[in-house]
Amino acid sequence: MNYHILDMIGEGSFGRVYKGRKKFSGQVVALKFIPKVGRSEKELRNLWREIEIMRGLCHPNIVQMLDSFNTDKEVVVVTDYAEGELFQILEDDGSLPEEQVREIACQLVSALYYLHSHRILHRDMKPQNILLGKGGVLKLCDFG
């Protein structure tokens, strides 16, 4: 594997997400480990279809897929690393200033317009799938 695993940053029904660093560089990434065991052939086909869709996307407000590979037991997807989840920020802080909400909404509309213009639907819009990167840059992820 071309990555060092640093910390676990998330866990869900899909698997686990780790903060990592690409070997021989300072590039910080997110690595999503998705178990193959217990998944139907159809689920695995859908997963690979989502990976192929993500591979072709390039927009400042959509998480950039950097790499993907198979291990014996898992599919691993490597993406940009974004600092925080909108859901967690809302849960911790209760609300956001109106100016920040406006900025988030503008970035979200831009990301969705890009997807829709490429005939792609997100299908899992929720605060958990909206990440905030450096400088408040929104990153949409997990297309479902």
Q: Which residues are catalytic?
A: 124
DSSP string covering 7-55, please? EEEEEETTEEEEEEEETTS--EEEEEEEE-TT--HHHHHHHHHHHHHHH
Task: Give me the sign of the Cα torsion angle 106, 107, 108, 111.
Answer: positive
Degrees, nearest 5: CA angle 134-136-139 = 80
Q: DSSP secondary-structure letter at 64?
A: P
CA distance 112 to 121: 8
CA distance 32 to 77: 5
